[in-house]
Each structure stands twice: as structure tokens, then as C-alpha cells.
Amino acid sequence: MEGLVIKSTGSRITVRLENGGIQDCRLKGQFRIRDIKHTNPVAIGDRVVLEVDPRHGDGLITKIHPRDNYIIRKATKLSKVSHIIAANLDHAYLIVTLAEPRTSTGFIDRFLVTAAGYYIPASLVFNKIDIYTKELDTLFEELKEIYEAAGYPCYAVSALKGTNLKGLKSVLKGKINLFAGHSGAGKSALINAIQPGLDIRTGKMGVHLKGMHTTTFAEMHEISGGGFIVDTPGIREFGLIHFEQSEIPRCFPEMEKFLPYCQYQDCTHTHEPGCAVKNALEIGAVSQLRYNSYLSILNDS
Ligand SMILES: Nc1nc2c(ncn2[C@@H]2O[C@H](COP(=O)(O)OP(=O)(O)OP(=O)(O)O)[C@@H](O)[C@H]2O)c(=O)[nH]1
Ligand SMILES: [Mg+2]
Ligand SMILES: [Zn+2]
């Protein structure tokens, strides 16, 4: 039988069968021994082959199909072992808010670079617009202009009031979508609003406005009409992938098209003469905000 892994907490794996049924599974021992790089040899989003014992109804995963892509998180920056958050993603959505807890543009850009590093298309969802002040509405408009010009669609929604969910719902349809972002940004609340009836636990915003890591395991939720959303635990920062410095410019889509026109092939777009990226910055084709993020990410890598 073929299935899709929708939840995996240690040794308990939940698989959605092709007929829509749900099957609890274990993983055949050989996978654990073979995969020493990851703490979880099977991940959410994996397409698997399984056998079900007709007597006890126990499922056994016997094969994991090759992954189109996957994103990982390392336990620490230096650790050799990593955890696969999800595999076979069609699209990644960063859920942010300009209210509490405010997401910085530095964090947004690191996420977008990471997604580009994995070749996963990404978008930004600005949540909690019900509590934006006039200033925040204006800030949203400014950021939307910058990010959409860079090639990243932006959505403004309120999970609480159910505002502007229609556009978002239509782009999620039929795809495997990742929802990521800081704890407290409203990832789980937004999934509840998109798919009523799921009743995913959400956090209480009280004294600790930073969010309290309500979601502790990633889980894939089915949306009616087709498609899935992977809810993930909140992330503090991004150290998800190690990039060679020379790979970073291509992860800024709005810079990418200028790269062939730099005078030097190994241009770092910082100080070199005849740099097409700096020229694009001067004429406003690359925004100062995004260029600053580029410098900061280049500096850290
Ligand atoms: N005002 C307002 N509050 C919201 C909105 N969406 C979510 N919240 C509140 O924000 C808090 C956090 O929401 P969650 O959905 O638990 O956040 P999360 O991103 O899933 O957080 P973790 O699971 O910890 O990563 C809850 O108290 C929600 O009620 C919104 O659109 N407007
Ligand atoms: Mg959550
Ligand atoms: Zn250059």
C-alpha cells in the first residue's frame, strides 16, 4: 500500500492512505541504522510503502520514496545530526506579524534565503491585521511593495476575525504547504481559521507576548477540497542550512537577474567596480532593505 506520512513523533508514525484512511505505523528497523545523519529517518511529507498486518492492524513502513526536497533543522549550529522538519513541500509560507510578537525583516530575509536554498517557492503571510495601528498598516504596505517586487507574494490576514482568508485558501489548494514562523505569530490559529473543525491547540497571549511554543511537533493537516498544511513549532532563528558565500546572491531573486552583468565573475557585490547589483541598488531595482540583509547574511556565513 502507498501512503503519506502526516505525523511522526519518535517511533509512532501516522500515515494517510490513498483512500483517505489513517494508519498508525512503525518503521522497519533497517532505516534507523542506515540513516545516521538525521534523528528521524522518516519525516512528514514522505511518500511511503507500507504493509498492514491483517491480524493486529499494525502498519509497517517498508520503503520511503526518494524526496523531491526537504528542510532540516539542526539541534545546534555545530551539531552534525539534524532533524528533517518536512519533505516534498510545494510551497513555504512564513507567518509573521507586525503586532506582537513583531517579526524582524532580518528574520524574514533569512527564511526566504533558506527556502530559496532548498528551491522551495515562498510567500509571506502578515497575520493579526485586526490589531494593526495606522502606522502598522502603512508599514505593511511598504513591506508588501518591497517583497512583491523581490518576487514574494504577500498576504494580510486576521486568523482571529477570519479576514482575507479567501485568497490564501485558493493558493493553498491541492498543494503541500509549510507554515513556519515565530512562536505566537498565529500559525495554528490560522490553520484553524482556514479549516474549521481541526481544533488545533493555540497559545494564550498574556503577560508573555513572545509566544510559548504551544505547538511542539510538526503535523500535517488536510484541507477540504485537497491539499495539506504542515503546522510547525515556532522558530527563534534560522541556522537551517549552510551556504557557501557564493551561493547567497542567487537566493535573492531580485538580484539574481543582474548577476551575469557584473564585471567580475567572482563579484561579492560589496565593493567591486562594475557591479551590476550595486548599480541596480542605485536605480532602485534592488531595495536597500534587502541589500542590507544580503550583506548581513554574507557576513554571518
Ligand atoms: N489579535 C489576534 N490574535 C491572534 C491572531 N491569530 C492568532 N492570534 C493569537 O496569537 C496567539 C498565538 O497563536 P498560535 O496560533 O498559538 O501561534 P503559533 O504560531 O501556532 O505558536 P507556536 O505553536 O507556539 O509556534 C493566540 O493567543 C492567538 O489567539 C489574529 O489574527 N489576531
Ligand atoms: Mg502553533
Ligand atoms: Zn556584483
Q: Which residues are in the CB-under-5-Å shell of ion ligand 3?
A: 262, 267, 269, 275, 277
Domain-located, residue 81: no
Q: Which atom of ligand 1 is found nearest the CA of 181?
A: 19
Q: Which atom of ligand 1 is found nearest the CA of 211?
A: 24
* pLDDT at residue 10 in the model: 73
Cell of 44: 512528514
Q: Which atom of ligand 1 is found nearest the CA of 157?
A: 31
pTM (2 d.p.): 0.94
* pLDDT at residue 235 in the model: 81
What lies within 8 Å, CB to CB, of 282 at 6+ separation is none
194 and 169 Cβ atoms separated by less than 8 Å: yes
Tell me how far apart the alpha carbons of residues 288 and 267 are, in angstroms, rounded to a whole number: 18
Same domain flag for 43 and 148: no
235 and 182 Cβ atoms separated by less than 8 Å: yes
Tell me how far apart the alpha carbons of residues 155 and 146 are, in angstroms, rounded to a whole number: 13
When mean pLDDT is compared over 19-33, 46-60, 81-95, 152-166, the highest value belongs to 152-166
Domain-located, residue 175: yes
Tell me how far apart the alpha carbons of residues 276 and 260 are, in angstroms, rounded to a whole number: 8
Query: Any bridge partners for residue 14, and if so which?
Result: 7, 24
Domain span holding position 264? 245-300
Work out the mean pLDDT of the chain and round it to a whole number.
91
Q: Tell me the best of 107, 188, 200 to mutate to test the pocket of ligand 1, counting ligand atoms within 8 Å of each CB and taking the most.
A: 188
Same domain flag for 140 and 193: yes
Same domain flag for 165 and 53: no
159-165: long-range contacts at Cβ-Cβ below 8 A with a sequence spacing of 24 or more? 159/127, 159/128, 159/186, 159/189, 159/190, 159/192, 159/193, 160/128, 160/130, 160/186, 160/189, 160/193, 161/130, 162/193, 163/129, 163/130, 164/129, 165/193, 165/194
Q: How many domains does the chain have?
A: 3
Domain-located, residue 120: yes
Q: What's the rounded mean pLDDT across residues 66-85?
A: 82
Tell me how far apart the alpha carbons of residues 42 and 80 are, in angstroms, rounded to a whole number: 18
According to DSSP, residue 104 is labeled: P
Same domain flag for 207 and 256: no
Query: Any bridge partners for residue 1, and if so which?
Result: none
Same domain flag for 109 and 187: yes
Domain-located, residue 83: no
**CA nearest ligand 1 atom 23, residue:** 215
* pLDDT at residue 31 in the model: 74
* pLDDT at residue 143 in the model: 98
Tell me how far apart the alpha carbons of residues 35 and 236 are, in angstroms, rounded to a whole number: 27
Same domain flag for 103 and 179: yes
Q: Tell me the best of 100, 103, 132, 160 to mutate to test the pocket of ligand 1, counting ligand atoms within 8 Å of each CB and taking the most.
A: 160
Task: Look up the CATH number of the domain holding residue 106.
Answer: 3.40.50.300
Same domain flag for 59 and 128: no
Give the torsion sign (CA, 148, 153, 159, 163).
positive
Domain-located, residue 185: yes
Predicted confidence (pLDDT) per residue in 130-140, tens digit: 999 999 999 99
Tell me how far apart the alpha carbons of residues 115 and 124 are, in angstroms, rounded to a whole number: 12
Task: Look up the CATH number of the domain holding residue 17.
Answer: 2.40.50.140
Same domain flag for 149 and 218: yes
Q: Tell me the best of 205, 213, 236 to mutate to test the pocket of ligand 1, counting ligand atoms within 8 Å of each CB and taking the most.
A: 205
Predicted confidence (pLDDT) per residue in 253-283, tens digit: 999 999 999 999 999 999 999 999 999 999 9
Q: Which residue has the higher pLDDT, 237 or 104?
A: 104
Same domain flag for 191 and 279: no
Same domain flag for 59 and 163: no
What is the distance in A from the centroid of ligand 1 to the CA of 203?
6
CA distances from 131 to 11, 59, 134, 228 (A): 41, 47, 10, 28
Domain-located, residue 127: yes
* pLDDT at residue 196 in the model: 94
* pLDDT at residue 207 in the model: 47
Same domain flag for 112 and 175: yes
What is the distance in A from the centroid of ligand 3 to the CA of 288?
15
Tell me how far apart the alpha carbons of residues 147 and 116 are, in angstroms, rounded to a whole number: 14
What is the distance in A from the centroid of ligand 1 to the CA of 193?
11
58 and 26 Cβ atoms separated by less than 8 Å: yes
Pocket of ligand 1 (CB under 6 A): 127-128, 130-131, 158-160, 181, 183-189, 202-205, 211, 213-215, 233-234
Same domain flag for 180 and 252: no
Nearest to 64 by CA among 23, 36, 39, 30: 30
Predicted confidence (pLDDT) per residue in 14-46, tens digit: 999 999 999 999 988 777 667 678 888 899 999
CA 91-94-96 angle, 5° bins:
160
